[in-house]
Structure 1
Amino acid sequence: MAHEQIKKEIEESLERVYDRDGASMPFLKYKDVPFPNMPALAEALSRLHVLPVYEDDLFICAYPCSGTHWMWEVTSMLLRNKAERIKGVKEEYMLEFLLANKLAELPRPRLFNTHVQPHFLPETVLSRNKIIFIARNPKDVVVSFYKHSFGLIASEYNGTFPSFFELFMEKKLAFGDYFEYMNKWWKIIKDNPNCLVVCYEEASQNLQKTVHKIGEFLGRPPTPQLASDIAELCTFDNMKKTKNATMYNFKQDEFWKPNFSFYRKGKVATWKEWLTVSQSERMDDLIKTELADVGIPMIFSIQE
């Protein structure tokens, strides 16, 4: 199917999803997966299956709010072999919003990132290119996703966390169901030496160790000093203080409501401040059943 036809179908799929209290978000749909209603999305998605890929292209893949900004910054520094703040932001390399004219301008090696399920990507990416896959506790994901959706102007969402939690459990949020996402990606990465799994919780405990782990995977092992310097620059507090988090230097208030940004707390287990006992137990049940075949050694347990 020609990309113009795909683009048209995506644009015409616009619909609103309502929570139990009537708050809503606009979504586009492609291959039965909901996506945020962003300006470049239909054009970018329509061409994604024929993305021109080089052998040295790298991909960071993660469900939303799992630490993509963080690991993109770390990996970018490793590729440059410098502990220096990266001028761009990961959205400028995000496949769902990357237009063809921008794609051609990116220097190699290109470090892309995406939230899409694997079947959206060219087969060559899944079989040949290096992929860094980030996993995060779904309890923290849903909390971070709520704050992201509430704060982002384009999402148009003004609902409460309990209602948003139900949308998450009902698989009605952008980029689809977390548990389906994890299972589909596990089938791709489980026996693939070109894939590296990074756990958000593990990186939070020891970022310098994670920097070394990624560097070794890239074939660019950092010196102890470089790893230490990168880890220091990429702490949450330093990222929040010194890293621009809007595309192409747009103003903060063009994307976010007052007092919101991509950088929130950056901590592990903040879900304990948000989820009720009942919500936590329901999530535990899904973790036990839906992630039973996913062998990612995530650093969390349902007893936490």
Structure 2
Amino acid sequence: MSSDSGEVPPSGTPSLFNIPLLEAYGWKMSPFPGVKDQVAHVEATRKLRIRDDDVLVAAFPKCGTHWLWEVTQMLLRQTTDYEKRTKEQVMLESPGGLERADQEPSPRILNSHNPFVHLPQEIISKKTKIIHVIRNPKDTAVSAFWHTKTIFNAKELQFQELLDAVMGQSQLPTQFDYLQQMSEFERTHPDHPIKHEPVKIIKELAQFLNVPASDEFCQDVANACSFDKMKKIEETGAKDFPKELNDAITGAGGSLKFYRKGIIGDWKNMFTVAQNETFDAFIDSCTKTKGLNYAFIFE
């Protein structure tokens, strides 16, 4: 493991992404808001003690972990009542997240955007149930664009600048680098198009978690976790967000908004024809060179 604060992206990279990068276990990363020593935090995360009944919701950023984390907690707790806290309270990379995870009663529903090498290493020996959320890269990029403008107060950011960063100009790992690390799990845990058939997939998710779930209960969970309802809950400020992370984001002028549209195919409203052609070539190149075979749903 090493820390590298001297390597910066190439000249011409947008200033938002032109920041010193850190590195741990061969994975480059930008500083996480509110975390004072991120390399040490990664080491502590890898050493986190895993319990036999833990569940981990894992995904590349902006792929839908907020929504699926809420669905999972309803299934495990056998209720359609909303969790009073946001998922960031037990997000492994969040400031204070590891300490809160240690105090969490079982069964814990952990969540993370970390690559596999930064996850608790006991998930291998404990055979932890991992719910890996996969989203098509085009909608991920669009969601990341609006998220970056909001969270980091990047009002001047242009979509093309975000696309350039996503395609590797920032030297940060891409979504495909993340998927390559997680691909071993995908070989034994098939992916399911959740947003297309929510009730059916919630039922299958309940079976994966070994919890009872009638068709009526699955429908109730799907209704409770509809994107519109989740967005309204966020707007009311009803959920408890970690103070350390809140202070780091709002103190820098950012805004705590995580729900925007939550639909498949919003990329069509952002990509130009030329951008789409370039990004298609990027997707094709990455999937071939990394040996990936994901059935992305683009519409």
Same-fold status (TM-score > 0.5): yes
Aligned mate of 1:214, from 205, 209, 212? 205
Structure 1 residue 179 displacement after superposition:
1.1
Structure 1 position 165 matched with structure 2 position 157:
no
Structure 1 residue 287 displacement after superposition:
2.4
Aligned to 1:76: 73
Quote the RMSD (CA, aligned, Å).
Answer: 2.9
Structure 1 position 237 matched with structure 2 position 211:
no
Aligned mate of 1:33, from 19, 28, 37? 28
**Which residue identity lines up with residue 278 of structure 1 in the other structure?**
A
**Which residue identity lines up with residue 288 of structure 1 in the other structure?**
D
Aligned to 1:262: 258
Is the contact made by 1:19 and 1:163 (CA closer than 8 Å) also made in structure 2?
Answer: no
Structure 1 residue 33 displacement after superposition:
1.4
**Which residue identity lines up with residue 191 of structure 2 in the other structure?**
V
**In structure 1, C-alpha distance between the alignment counterparts of 2:107 and 2:5, rounded to whole Å:** 35
Is the contact made by 1:72 and 1:113 (CA closer than 8 Å) also made in structure 2?
Answer: yes
Structure 1 position 102 matched with structure 2 position 108:
no
Structure 2: stretches of 5+ with no match in the other structure: none
Is the contact made by 1:212 and 1:227 (CA closer than 8 Å) also made in structure 2?
Answer: yes
**Which residue identity lines up with residue 101 of structure 1 in the other structure?**
E
Counting matched residue pairs gives 285
SS at match of 1:212: helix
**Which residue identity lines up with residue 182 of structure 2 in the other structure?**
W
Structure 1 residue 101 displacement after superposition:
3.0
Structure 1 residue 232 displacement after superposition:
0.5
Aligned to 1:88: 85
SS at match of 1:60: strand
Of stretches 178-187 and 232-241 in structure 1, the one that deviates more from structure 2 is 178-187
CA displacement, residues 134-153 of structure 1 (integer Å, 9 cap, x when unaligned)? 11110000110011111003
Structure 1 residue 295 displacement after superposition:
3.3
**In structure 2, C-alpha distance between the alignment counterparts of 1:111 and 1:171, rounded to whole Å:** 34
SS at match of 1:122: coil
SS at match of 2:191: strand
CA displacement, residues 213-272 of structure 1 (integer Å, 9 cap, x when unaligned)? 211110114111111111001111000112446623759x93796887101011111111
**Which residue identity lines up with residue 280 of structure 2 in the other structure?**
D
After superposition, residues 27-66 of structure 1 pair within 5 angstroms as 28-31=21-24, 32-40=27-35, 42=38, 43-66=40-63
Q: Closer, same or farther in 2 for the Cα pair 1:190/1:256, shift >3 Å? A: farther
CA displacement, residues 16-60 of structure 1 (integer Å, 9 cap, x when unaligned)? 658847432446412241134312262532311211111111111
Provide the TM-score with structure 1 as the length reference. 0.82
